[in-house]
Amino acid sequence: MPEKNKKFKKHLKIIIGVLLFALIFGGGLLAGNFLFNKNNKGENANQQTEEVAQNPYKDFLFEVYDIIQENYWNKISDEELTNIYKLATEKLTQAPQNIDPLNKDGIENMILPI
């Protein structure tokens, strides 16, 4: 019996040592990951907020413009699509709108003052 007890204690010490090492190593990885992500999230969040805060309405309108150009089953020219945007803006503002170039740049020039 004493021989089994010595082997058991030896194995128990080894298992506890491995578990303790794994716990310390895992804790260090988690702490490092948390600190690294915490620092990077703040910088990325500020950059994303600045980008979105510039003009979300313009970004949305241009995204719709691009989707219509890509996915509309009848191919529509820039002039026709720009005219639709112009008519919608006139309806919304109840004022006549002038678009200098009949493309995305013209739409941007038209919606920025609004």
Q: What is the pLDDT of residue 12?
A: 85
Comparison of pLDDT for 32 and 62, the residue scoring more: 62
Averaged over 81-94, what is the pLDDT? 91
CA angle 64-68-70, nearest 5°? 115
Tell me whether residue 83 is exposed, middle or buried, using C-beta atoms within 10 angstroms of its C-beta: 0 to 12, 13 to 18, 19 or more.
middle
My answer on whether 66 and 27 are in the same domain is: no
Q: What is the pLDDT of residue 63?
A: 92
My answer on whether 7 and 39 are in the same domain is: yes
Q: What is the pLDDT of residue 42?
A: 57
My answer on whether 41 and 17 are in the same domain is: yes
- Cα separation, 78 vs 1, in Å, equals 91
Between helix 56-71 and helix 78-93 the angle, nearest 10°, is: 140
Residue 30 belongs to domain spanning: 1-54
My answer on whether 60 and 45 are in the same domain is: no
Q: With pLDDT > 70 as the criterion, what percentage of the chain qualifies?
A: 85
The pTM of the full predicted model, rounded to 2 decimals, is: 0.52
My answer on whether 39 and 66 are in the same domain is: no
Count: domains in the chain: 2
My answer on whether 71 and 101 are in the same domain is: yes
My answer on whether 65 and 38 are in the same domain is: no
My answer on whether 78 and 39 are in the same domain is: no
